[in-house]
Amino acid sequence: MTPGEHTRAVHTPDPPRLEQTPLGLPVHRSAAFRFSSAQEYADLLSGAQKGYSYSRVDNPTTDAFAQAVAALEGVGVDGEVVAQPFASGMAAISTVLMALTHAGAHVVVPREVYGGTYGLLTTVLDRFGVTTSFVDMTDLDAVRAAVRPETTVLYAETLANPTMTVADLPGLSAISREAGLTFVVDSTFASPAVCRPLEHGADVVVHSATKYIGGHSDSTGGVAVGSPELMTRVRRARIDLGGMLAPDEAFLLHRGLATLPLRVARHCASALVVAAAMDEHPGVLRVDHPGLPSHRDHDLARKLFDEGRYGAIVTITPPGGRAAGLALCDRLRLIAVATSLAGTHSKVSHVATTTHRQLDDDALAAAGIDPAAVRISVGLEDPEDLVADLEQALDGL
């Protein structure tokens, strides 16, 4: 019996099984997967058999992306390193923190922590009984003193946003080990092409893959990397919370990995040129970039980071307070006032009204952030053109 036209339209022949490995990552744009039997379905859901059932749970394309990031982050680490993919950097951060805390738990976090993470801790997790201490992470004694019996997580940022403070990863790791904590590091600003925190004692590394990993401002995603034991806990929380990375986004982010070292080396070299020029400009009160010998963490950056790569963010502070910072952004002609960072285009944002808008003036002061601070994400343009744009904007203030 020949099936009807609607049946034939729905039940097309199976796609060919590949004998060769494609150089481009295949995109498995399917929400659900078919099984050969009901028992296979049951075995897969129970964990008795590996495979794919539903793309909110796992997907071959997103797994390929996660495994690729784990391979980059896990260099030089004893033991197996695996990763979990997420729909955004904040999905990765929130899921990791939810997996590692509970009602009554306590977290130690940098004072200048990213505003999204600050908001998660102070307006979401606090409602479920998780408390947070915001401390100066450059003062290891202060970090050690902040740890309580109920502390479960020590959280740091490889490069802090926007002060570019460098985390003393080995020192913080030692404190974490002493206290039996899980040491989580947000390494978005560094990427694996600058620093790999697992090499220096971190237990979990999180990224907003939207930034340097993707690299082209055309995809959104996140990733968490760590031991199989920790990532099993994180995966369970990811499935329950639903923040899964889509396969099309995973394809774009995976594509970005191939050029990550090339792009980041260029980003970092140009950022150092911009930082040095701004450091000499009379209209700038302060420049934050660890590539400058005057930066307080320059020696630590040289120790922890790949040679010549100090990150691609330069934060400058003009005189005049909040209004001056906003005016500086508006006077730029080449550098775009735009959301996010990394990508091919240089971007600028006024810190107090964007990335750290969740912090009031007292919290900004405690984090060492001036209300006039302007964060520059240095792209792939010629650095001389970026310097010229900044100089004309500063000269007109």
Question: Is 114 considered catalytic here?
Answer: yes
State the residue for tokens 């099936």: 3
Q: Which of 111, 114, 266, 297 is catalytic?
A: 114
DSSP letter for 124, please: I
DSSP strand E in the chain: where? 82-86, 106-110, 131-135, 151-157, 182-186, 204-208, 222-226, 286-288, 313-317, 336-337, 347-350, 374-377
Burial (Cβ within 10 Å: 0-12, 13-18, ≥19) of residue 138: buried
Could you check whether the bond before residue 149 is cis, i.e. omega within 30 degrees of 0? no
Number of neighbouring beta carbons within 10 Å of residue 365: 13
Closest CA to 291 of 278, 305, 274, 272: 272
CA distances from 201 to 120, 154, 169, 244 (A): 25, 12, 7, 27
Instruction: Output the six-digit token pair for 174.
Output: 């030692």
Q: Identify any residues that bridge with 225 across adjacent strands, giving them in sequence order.
A: 83, 205
- Nearest CA to 345 out of 356, 328, 332 is that of 332
Burial 146-177 (b: 16+ CB within 10 A, else e): bbeeebbbbbbbbbbbbbbbbbbbebbbebbe
Backbone angles phi, psi at 305, to 5 degrees: -95, 155
Q: Which of 186, 297, 370, 389 is catalytic?
A: 186
How many helices (H) and strands (E) the chain has is answered by 14, 12
The whole-angstrom separation of Cα 154 and Cα 143 is 9
The CA distance from 48 to 273, in Å, is 55
**One of 43, 56, 306, 357 is an active-site residue; which one?**
56
Whether the Cβ atoms of residue 278 and residue 314 lie closer than 8 Å to each other: yes
Query: Which helix (H) or strand (E) covers residue 169, if one does?
Result: helix 169-179
| Given 111, 211, 263, 347, the catalytic residue | 211
Residue 212 appears among annotated catalytic residues: no
Torsion sign over Cα 83, 118, 341, 244: positive
Mark whether 211 is an active-site residue: yes
Which are the catalytic amino acids?
A: 56, 114, 186, 211
